[in-house]
Structure 1
Amino acid sequence: MAALALAGCAGRGAGTEGGGDAAAEGDEFTITIGHSVAASAPVNLGSLRFKEIVEEGSDGRITVEVFPAEEIGSEPELVEGLTLGNVQIALVATALAADSCPSLGVYALPYIIQGDTDRDQYENLRKITESDFNQDLIDQCEQDTGLRVLDNSWWYGNRNLTTGDREVNVPGDMAGLIIRTPPADLHTLAIQAFGAETLPMAFSEVYTALDTGVIDGQENPISTIYQNALFEVQDNMSLTKHMTQNQTLLMDAAWFDGLSEDDQELIQSAIDEAGQYQSDLQLTTNEEELEELRASGMTITEPDLAPFRAAVEARVAEVLSDLGIDAQTIADLQR
């Protein structure tokens, strides 16, 4: 959090004291955006595209500073930083955003986004996020928490399981394994339903924990596995596709509302354009990096997903019931 505090002090421009005090019309100010993804990954390249659009569109009046790879804090710390005024945009996994706005967790439920391919799934994700259903979810989030969802359609990819010397073809193969998950409740749902023990852990600790045997495996999208060289400490990857990860961009609503209408429109337009750029790039990158993982010597298993779906079915129904969301509504939006 000390890093967040320093970044906040460095990143504030005229009139931007954080915690809801935004810049007046015509003021110069800085937008600090933080995330946990590697600097070379499409998520960061999308963030840099956002920076380019905003700085050009404001003729340099608005400066955007991008901090990747947890440079100014973990995802929970970034969300906390929004209300402290240290961060203006937290770009986080939707499962983590759901810790603040539970209804957003519908997107992080196992096998909820349908499609035979990642590209099909991305199109279905967009159908949902562009719907009145999604608008109701993000309106409720803002009402309950004061956090504005700028976008929740940045594609990252399906989360898959990696392990050391054990191939996973059916859920039973996971019995007795300790699997690292991110520190968000929804990340544990599928892995526990498959029969493994979960150990939440900051991502910065994962490589060493795998190398030393503290954990037997982890789960992440292809890009995270490749960009962070987890193939060096994991022999196997099973394409369980147990969670579709889209990234959510959060901002303090009061801070956003305090901006001029022109600046609001510029920021939102830049988010939309950068998100499409990032998602298109991520889809292609995931395909390329999967082949790179094969070339690295990693054994890639493509299991029948039916038993994995069956293992989580009851848990998914329970969460949807708790959220007051009808599963058929989600399915209908993807037709």
Structure 2
Amino acid sequence: MSLPKSFIIALFSTFALFLAGCSQDTSTPAAGSGSTWLYAHEEFEGDVQDVFAHEFKNYIEANSNHQVRIYRFGELGESDDIMEQTQAGILQFVNQSPGFTGSLIPEAQIFFIPYLLPVEDEQIVEFFRTSVAINEMFGDLYAEQGLKLLTMYPEGEMVVTADTPVRSPEDFRGKNIRTMTNPLLAETYRAFGATPTPLPWGEVYGALQTNIIQGQENPIFWIQSGGLYEVSPNLIFTGHGQFTTAMMANQEFFQGLPESDRQLIREAAEHAFNYITDYVPGLGDRMLEKILQSSERVTVTRLTEEERQPFRAAAVQVEDRFVDMTGERGKALLDQFKADLRNVRSN
């Protein structure tokens, strides 16, 4: 008899956290001593979230007696697992995309309204640095879920991979496209003409390989590091969005720290943000070059502005659906997003 995958992941996560807890003290330290803080993210070694986490860790450890232990994808379960562990106070820090947080914080799905965010490196970095919506409004939404939002940052343009090249909504028809467990992202691919198919990340490669799904979306670095191009070789640059992620702390843990440690954590998050927003621009081009060197099967389709128009037109219904799902609070957030974007573009 084989055990269910969910049971195995939960058992492994519990055992790993038990071992971590046996040797670590995450309580408020006495003067002059330090604690070990646990930090989990959703990506593999060397990926963007891992780079960010290590910059955060390095800053903390260089400026205090505290230590940070980092857990990568799968080591403590899937995205939902590490969020639950953070909310429960088992983990002190978590890095998670609004794609997964959307079921917990519906307003976070705003990042999945297609053609809302720019894909140009300079514009997107400036937006995240200066956005009132991100830097002032989102904090309260996360706090309601027991989370202290420390920063949000972009990881790169979203690129679709599929079993055939795609240039129009008609080309998407009949394709099952994997989405994160995010209602608005499902609405996006439904509007684009595809059949959205929510799947946890651990099942995506096999589902592409066996044709259960015919495509998925991710930034190029993740397509490269996860080997998705091997089983989904047609890359389509639709220009519809940026992959965004958020770094958070357990709110009770954060508020229970002395002000000196809270300030240290804020500074470490700012340091990591500054590092990663220099690191990410150009990363997609470098990873695309690696993909093309690795496989002769890969095709690259970049939609022209004319080809994007039907997708842009379909995006209107996704925006309307976001407002329906989130009400006045979501509408206020969307209005501020657009004001922030106008400021970036005018500069």
Question: 1:139-158 CA deviation, whole Å, 9 max, x = no partner?
Answer: 2330x2121111112x2112
- Tell me, in whole angstroms, the C-alpha distance in 1 between the residues paired with 2:200 and 2:192: 22
**Conserved 8 A contact 2:169-2:310:** yes
SS in 2 for 1:145: coil
- Residue 241 (structure 1) shift: 3.2
What aligned pairs does 1:122-201 form with structure 2 within 5 A after superposition?
Answer: 122-128=125-131, 131=132, 134-142=135-143, 144-153=144-153, 155-164=154-163, 166-201=164-199
Residue 5 (1) aligns with residue 48 (2): no
Q: TM-score, normalised by structure 2?
A: 0.86
Aligned pairs (5 A) from 1:36-75: 36-58=42-64, 61-75=65-79
Amino acid at match of 1:6: F
Query: How far apart are residue 333 of structure 1 and its match?
Result: 1.0
TM-score scaled by structure 1?
0.89
Q: Alignment partner for residue 286 of structure 2, among 278, 285, 288?
A: 288
Counterpart contact for 2:254–2:262, Cα < 8 Å: yes
**1:78 is matched with which residue?**
82
CA distance in 1, matches of 2:76, 2:277: 24
Contact 2:128–2:152 (Cα < 8 Å) also in 1:
no
2:312 maps to 1:309? yes
1:97 is aligned to 101
1:248-285: CA deviation from partner (whole Å, max 9, x where unpaired): 11221111101111111111111111122123212221
Q: Which amino acid aligns with 1:127?
A: T
Give the gaps of 5 or more residues in structure 2.
1-9
Q: Quote the sequence identity (%).
A: 25
The residue type equivalent to 1:229 in the other structure is G
CA offsets 1:4-57 (integer angstroms, 9 cap, x no match)? 3334334447663xxxxx414535322111112121213211211111111111
Q: Is the 8 A contact 1:25 1:260 kept in 2?
A: no
Equivalent position of 2:7 in the other structure? none
Q: Quick one: structure 1 residues 170 and 333, their matched pair in 2 at CA, closer, same or farther if it must change by over 3 Å? A: same
> 2:318 is matched by which residue type in structure 1?
R
Q: How far apart are 1:242 and its partner, in Å?
A: 2.8
- Aligned residue for 2:203, secondary structure, equals helix
Deviation at 1:63, TM superposition (A): 1.4
- After TM superposition, the structure 1 = structure 2 runs for residues 189-268 of structure 1, keeping only pairs within 5 Å, are 189-268=187-266
Q: CA RMSD in A?
A: 2.0
Mapped pair 1:272 → 2:270: yes
Q: Which moved more, 1:132-141 or 1:266-275?
A: 132-141
Tell me, what secondary structure is at the counterpart of 1:305? Answer: helix
Matched position secondary structure for 1:136: helix
DSSP 3-state at the match of 2:238: strand
Q: Which moved more, 1:37-46 or 1:95-104?
A: 95-104
Establish whether residue 319 from structure 1 lines up as the match of residue 322 from structure 2: yes
**Number of positions where the alignment pairs a residue of Structure 1 with one of Structure 2:** 322
SS at match of 1:160: strand
More moved, 94-103 vs 218-227? 94-103
Segments of structure 1 that go 5 or more residues without pairing to the other structure are 17-21
Matches of 2:276 and 2:16, distance apart in 1? 25
Provide the secondary structure at the position in 2 that maps to 1:141.
helix
